[in-house]
Amino acid sequence: MSTSTRRGRRPGRPDTKAAILVAARERFAASGFGGTTIRAIANDAGVDAALVHHYFGSKDDLFVAALELPVDPRAVIGAAVAGPAEEAAEKLLRTFLSVWDDPGFQPALLATVRRILEPGGDKLIREGFLPVVLLPVGEQLGIDRPDLRMPLVASQVIGLIVARYVVRIEPIATLEPEHLVAIYAPTIQRYLTGPLP
């Protein structure tokens, strides 16, 4: 066994879970989701791969944990879009805004956005968040061409995040959520179920 990868607990009382998360964030940012393996993350953290699986389960679960979001977006978005695809945009936006407008969640969400805006963070969206979180939503809805439709949805949602919560462009920053739903939902719904060129 190599000295760089020990089995079981490491000597002393290091925060093993935190070390794995740091290694995962760095590896996902550098190599993207597809180019990252549990074994590589374990090696970077100095632990056995089985310990990574023990703490975090699958690579998808580890990716979501590495984002350090206050809620699991897969569960929140999945529940929001349950039901007819024709109603998905309004429900998705209402849920999205209720999470983002929650003062208990907002600091962690903003920290995640800032991390994504750092060098290498673009891979977290392209190669992680889209295939792990958003594309399964398109499949759950049963829409055609989810590989095109879900990135279009993401473009609107990311734009709304930046305008409302990061740059705080007025009047978007202070509009009531229902007003934003009325403005954004028709466009997002067209991306989900409307005709595309």
Which domains are seen in the chain, by residue range?
Answer: 16-66 (1.10.10.60), 68-193 (1.10.357.10)
- Alpha helix stretches (DSSP H) within 103-176: 106-117, 121-124, 135-141, 146-161
Least confident of 13-17, 43-47, 141-145: 13-17
* DSSP assigned state of 20: H
Under a CB-based contact definition with an 8 Å cutoff, are residues 153 and 192 in contact?
Answer: yes
Q: Which residues in 131-156 are b (16+ Cβ under 10 Å) and which e?
A: bbbbbbbbeebebeebeebbbbbbeb
Q: Tell me how far apart the alpha carbons of residues 87 and 65 are, in angstroms, rounded to a whole number.
A: 29
Instruction: Please tell me the number of Cα atoms within 13 Å of 60 on its side-chain side.
Output: 11
- Average pLDDT of 82-90? 89
Q: Is the pLDDT of residue 45 over 60?
A: yes
Q: What is the pLDDT of residue 14?
A: 59
Q: Do you know the residue count of the chain? A: 197
* Alpha-carbon gap, residue 97 to 180, rounded angstroms: 9
pLDDT of residue 97: 94
- At 110 the pLDDT is 87
- Following CA atoms 146, 186, 107, 167 in sequence, which dihedral angle do they give, to the nearest 10 degrees? 110
Chain centroid to CA 162: 15
Amino acid at 16: T
For 44-48, 118-122, 166-170, which range has the lowest pLDDT when averaged over its residues? 118-122
- In this prediction, residue 8 carries a pLDDT of 46
Q: For residue 3, what pLDDT band results from cuts at 50, 70 and 90?
A: very low
Q: What is the pLDDT averaged over residues 12-29?
A: 78
Query: pLDDT (tens digit, 9 = 90+) per residue, 28-39?
Result: 777 777 788 999
